[in-house]
Amino acid sequence: MVPRLAPRCPVRPFPWQVACSAGAFVRQSTCVGASRTPVWGRLHGVQGTTPLVRRGSSSTSSQAPGVALTCERYPVRRLPFSSVSEDDLATFERIIPGRVITDPEELAASNVDWLRTMRGCSKVLLKPRTSEEVSHILRYCHERNLAVNTQGGNTGLVGGSVPVFDEIILSTALMNQVISFHNVSGILVCQAGCILEELSRYVEERGFIMPLDLGAKGSCHIGGNLATNAGGLRFLRYGSLRGTVLGLEVVLADGTVLNCLTSLRKDNTGYDLKQLFIGSEGTLGVITAVSILCPPKPGAVNVAFLDAVGPAGEDHRGAEPGRLCVQVRPLPARGQALRPGD
């Protein structure tokens, strides 16, 4: 099957040369949305443009000087996709009125990755708000043989968030609604474009924390976190997203909505399809909603300093290479400064 989503497999040197079978796991599913809670909590201050994204745009003119086009930098071949026509733009405008971006200045930031090492030349950025809109867009692109590149907060570090050629950029920036939160179990169900930091704030106000935290939290989306299987600062304590994510809703390349948005802690029914999409970097479908288990907020946080040098300057590193003996030193009492040797 011809892939309709731009293929990405970042562990490979030139991933765009690999044709992943985007529709391999297509199955008919119930159309989501009908059973959703009608009142979705809106997150405060959620914007499409956030500090890290602005980092890309502030220094990027429409031509993004200094960032070579990926297709000129690497020996890559454009697969035989169609190019976006005026008719296509008109159709997108009918599906998501006022959210079809073709202004080169606005597109510039979305064409360049966070590290400013990859640059595509997409001519159109689409900003759907709902899974149904994503489904309509992908169904149309599938029929028209148009390539699509999903983009969350555009903070990914392996170039997967930006097009290689002229793929349509499908941004989840406006899919930023909390669908439900259970105050006892800590199960959060939200759209994929919610910014991680905003979600953290939302659940912390309710006595919980997000099970992941990372430097890009002010910009990255929870959908992007899942698509990259992000780890981050809380990984050792709370484990991988493969354990904390309870369910997903995904729109496949042909527009089929795969509804696995369960919030069951223990779900033994059938295949665990969500695992396919965690870490898939957008190659298998667009993650549109997430159900995730949030741990209770700790009552206190202690900081331990780990040191390999003893109070008298002795070296506590082990004789064997790679072996390290560490001392855990207590923090000074409240109000007292940390002295050398403490």
Question: Can you give the binding site for ligand FAD, defined by CB under 6 A?
Answer: 8, 114, 149-157, 160-161, 172, 192, 214-216, 220-221, 223-225, 227-228, 230-232, 281-282, 286-287
The span from the CA of 314 to the CA of 331, in Å, is 21
Name the minimum Å distance from CB 5 to ligand FAD: 8
The span from the CA of 170 to the CA of 151, in Å, is 6
Q: Is 193 helix (H, G, I), strand (E, B) or coil?
A: coil
| 8 Å CB contact between 190 and 222 | yes
Name the minimum Å distance from CB 202 to ligand FAD: 17
What is the number of helices (H) and of strands (E) in the chain? 10, 12
CB nearer ligand FAD, residue 88 or residue 176: 176
203 sits in which H/E element:
helix 196-204
Smallest CA-to-CA distance from 137 within 108, 184, 100, 112 is with 100
Name the minimum Å distance from CB 38 to ligand FAD: 23
324: β partners: 317
Residue in this structure with the two tokens 């983009």, named with its chain if needed: 151
| 8 Å CB contact between 163 and 109 | no
Name the minimum Å distance from CB 296 to ligand FAD: 22
CB nearer ligand FAD, residue 111 or residue 149: 149
CB nearer ligand FAD, residue 172 or residue 177: 172
Name the minimum Å distance from CB 188 to ligand FAD: 16
3-state secondary structure 246-263: EEEEEECCCCCEEEECCC
Name the minimum Å distance from CB 224 to ligand FAD: 2
Residue 236: count other Cβ atoms within 10 Å of its Cβ. 7
CB nearer ligand FAD, residue 134 or residue 203: 134
CB nearer ligand FAD, residue 224 or residue 247: 224
Name the minimum Å distance from CB 283 to ligand FAD: 8
Q: Is 253 helix (H, G, I), strand (E, B) or coil?
A: coil
Name the minimum Å distance from CB 116 to ligand FAD: 11
CB nearer ligand FAD, residue 247 or residue 282: 282
Q: Is 267 helix (H, G, I), strand (E, B) or coil?
A: coil
CB nearer ligand FAD, residue 95 or residue 227: 227
| 8 Å CB contact between 199 and 115 | no
Angle between helices 104-111 and 51-58 (to 10 degrees): 110
Phi/psi for 101 (5° steps) reads -100, 125
CB nearer ligand FAD, residue 186 or residue 232: 232
The span from the CA of 276 to the CA of 213, in Å, is 22
* Minimal CB distance residue for ligand FAD: 224
